[in-house]
Amino acid sequence: MATSKSRILLFVAIPALILMLPLSIYLLDSVGASDRVARNITVSGVDVARQTEEEAVASVEAYAAALTARITQVEVNGQLFDVDPSALGLTFDVSSAVAEALTLHKDGAADWLKAFRNGIDVPLAASLDADVVRSHLVLWEREAIPNPAFEGSVSIVNRNVEFEYPRSGRAIDRDAAPALLLAALQAESGAVVPLPIVQSDPKLTESEISAAVQRANRIIDRGVVLRNDEYEFELRVDPFDLAGALQAEVVNGDDPTIRFSLDHSVITRIIESVRESFEVPPVDAAWKIVLVDDFEDYPDQFRIKDSPQKDVEGLPENDTIELIPSRNGTTVDAAEVAAAVEAAALGDGEGTLPLGSDALPAFTTEMAEAFGDLYELAEFTTWTPGRNRVHNIQLMADLVDDSIVMPGETFSVNEVVGRRTPQKGFKSDCIIANGELSCTEDPINIGGGVSQFATTIFNTIFFSCLEVVTHTPHSIYYSRYPEGREATLGFPHPDIVFKNDTEAPVIVRTSYTPRTITVTFFGNNGGTTCGAERGYRTRSTDAAVTYRADEEGVVLPGEEFIASEGSGGWTIGTTRIFYDIAGVEFDRESFSWRYRGERQIILMHPCEEKVGGDGVCPLVLPSVAGLPAIDARAALESLGFIVTEAPKETSIEADNGLVESSSPGPGILADPDDVNVTIFVWDWDGTTPDE
């Protein structure tokens, strides 16, 4: 019984296994080829079966490349022309054909079984560039047909508009030719393709050609103007240049038209020649300051706004300030501008000049506005004397003018102006050197006199309530400056430095007239104002005395000559008083300075020990005229001189024996060892004047 059951099971299992075998093969095959083309599939005859998408694309592209590289011939009215498929823009849609091939024979087991007996060829779509084909047809017609149909022409030759009217004639059949060409280029036979010839009438009219000529002349005559109102730029393309760029073309087709365009390469050359005019760097926001009238009519020695109200009776109103907005920098895109020129030329001749404006300034309008309103903090004016110092002061003012000191920054006059040199335009004038006023032409005196600018700007700092970092008053006091509240300059020291300890920029503005120099500060210090109180002089001293050798030979040994009286010294204090916006005092700051005074200069003969001499001085010959000869001889010999007498005849008895003169004469410096003195003595001739 057991054997019998086993046989029965075997007879049932074997047929079942046979039936399951194809299904198993399908499952294995379909899983292994899920990303490949199915069996028995071609694309335009190219076997792509069992290939991946990448492999199939490569196979079909190789086939398409071979077709594109093969030269075909067409026949037009009995004349043969070689056709390069690539020149006609022949392209194949390889990706679509392969994508379709990948979907075939994958719709279940039944569809899979069909692949073993039924092959499928996927067509490979191809196309030509219609405009290129059309232009080739026109060329073939001109060469092969004696009387081709012609749609007319408009062209610009040597900047002149030329034209031809349309005419009827024979032409290649425009409807049939493109399909015939495409079929021939796809075929592998290489047979010559005859293109049918038909009778053709132009679709353009003479009036349309004439209108096109008028339009071309109108475009040329008016030229092109592009404007950019924001930057006030203007680009003009004159008629001569525009005529060199204008192009006209009759576009054949189902509805022929006359198309105008510009040669962008010509326009681009024009744009490049003026690019620098239209490309500007970003412009920072700035403050424009309008100054009041000058001070020629105001007699005050100083214009000092040192009260909380900041107004002085009889003086003009405060200067005003306004914000000048920032502007982005501009760039020129030649292609974009050329397109705008073309649009304007084909329009009404005018248009907008396109500019890139994405180059941001470092200091924008928004940044400036964040500081709030700015106003005049303080102003100070001094009156200038003549000479080179006025030139130097005004030059320094120009170099400092419009400086902007941002919050937290320091401002140094020497850093801004630099060394005063003739190359910068500075001239020589008086300076104080070693406690003395020097007005020589020495190079050290270049830039002399600018201490007046130092005093002017220091007082502006003072009354603007800004932090004074560095300043140095003169060693000698000059009455034209506020005592204890003035400053001097040198290079690199002394300097004037202040810190902007406010939360807004400080703008330094200078102005001058032939008689005045003015420094004005603008900013926003929260309404704080400053005044000044001068203290009393203390610790007064007399002028220091300096003895100096007389190099001019005027001062005799034993004598002194006061060349400069000098001045005494003293200590002076100044207090800066701070007021809040309501005019209420809230702080004080003290400044103190010691004036050393100008030295008293006393000149002495170089032999004197006080001026570096050895103390051995030459003798001064005394005057002996009028003395008896014996007394004169005694006086001179007592000084060590050898004396000789020489008579000098006289008729006056009273003069007998008196010295008339000596040689060398009195006042001469002489060494007794080197000089003999002759005295001339009156000798009476014994006569008496006739009465």
Q: What is the pLDDT of residues 260-275, one digit of tens each?
A: 999 999 999 999 999 9
Q: How confident is the model at residue 428 (pLDDT cuts 50, 70, 90)?
A: low
Same CATH topology for 540-611 and 619-684? no
Mean pLDDT confidence for 356-378: 90
Q: How confident is the model at residue 112 (pLDDT cuts 50, 70, 90)?
A: low
Mean pLDDT confidence for 230-238: 93
Q: What is the Cα–Cα distance from 400 to 416, expressed in whole angstroms?
A: 7
Q: What is the Cα–Cα distance from 660 to 300, expressed in whole angstroms?
A: 65
Give pLDDT, residue 278.
93
Mean pLDDT confidence for 597-623: 85
Q: Choose the most confident range, by mean pLDDT, from 76-85, 423-432, 670-679.
A: 76-85
3-state secondary structure of 170: strand
pLDDT of 89 strictly over 80:
yes
3-state secondary structure of 266: helix
Which of 572, 546, 406 lies closest to 481, judged by CA?
Answer: 572
Mean pLDDT confidence for 318-331: 85
The proportion of the chain whose per-residue pLDDT surpasses 70, expressed as a percent, equals 85
> Roughly how many angstroms between the first and final C-alpha of the chain, as a whole number?
213
Give pLDDT, residue 305.
38
Any residues with CB less than 8 A from the CB of 641 and at least 6 apart, and which? 619, 621, 670, 672, 675, 676, 677
pLDDT of 311 strictly over 50:
no
Give pLDDT, residue 486.
92
Q: Choose the most confident range, by mean pLDDT, from 139-143, 222-226, 416-420.
A: 222-226
pLDDT of 433 strictly over 60:
no
pLDDT greater at residue 51 or residue 303:
51
pLDDT greater at residue 509 or residue 291:
509
Q: How confident is the model at residue 315 (pLDDT cuts 50, 70, 90)?
A: very low
Give pLDDT, residue 640.
84
- CATH number (3.30.70.2860, 3.20.20.70, 3.30.10.20, 3.90.10.10) of 619-684 reads 3.30.10.20
pLDDT of 523 strictly over 80:
yes
pLDDT of 306 strictly over 50:
no
Q: How confident is the model at residue 448 (pLDDT cuts 50, 70, 90)?
A: low
Give pLDDT, residue 514.
85
pLDDT of 190 strictly over 70:
yes
Give pLDDT, residue 679.
87
pLDDT of 72 strictly over 60:
yes
Name all contacts of 292-297 with Cβ < 8 Å and 24+ positions apart.
Answer: 292/316, 292/317, 292/318, 292/319, 294/511, 294/513, 294/516, 295/381, 295/513, 295/515, 295/516, 295/518, 296/513, 296/515, 296/516
Q: Which helix (H) or strand (E) covers residue 367, if one does?
A: helix 365-369
Q: What is the Cα–Cα distance from 495 to 415, expressed in whole angstroms?
A: 9
81-95, 281-295, 642-656: least confident range: 281-295
pTM for the structure as a whole:
0.54
pLDDT of 11 strictly over 80:
no
pLDDT of 5 strictly over 70:
no
Q: What is the Cα–Cα distance from 442 to 118, expressed in whole angstroms?
A: 113
Give pLDDT, residue 26.
46
- CATH number (2.70.98, 2.50.20, 2.60.120, 2.20.230) of 540-611 reads 2.20.230
pLDDT of 299 strictly over 50:
no
Domain residue spans in the chain?
A: 1-31, 149-277, 540-611, 619-684
Work out the mean pLDDT of the chain and round it to a whole number: 84
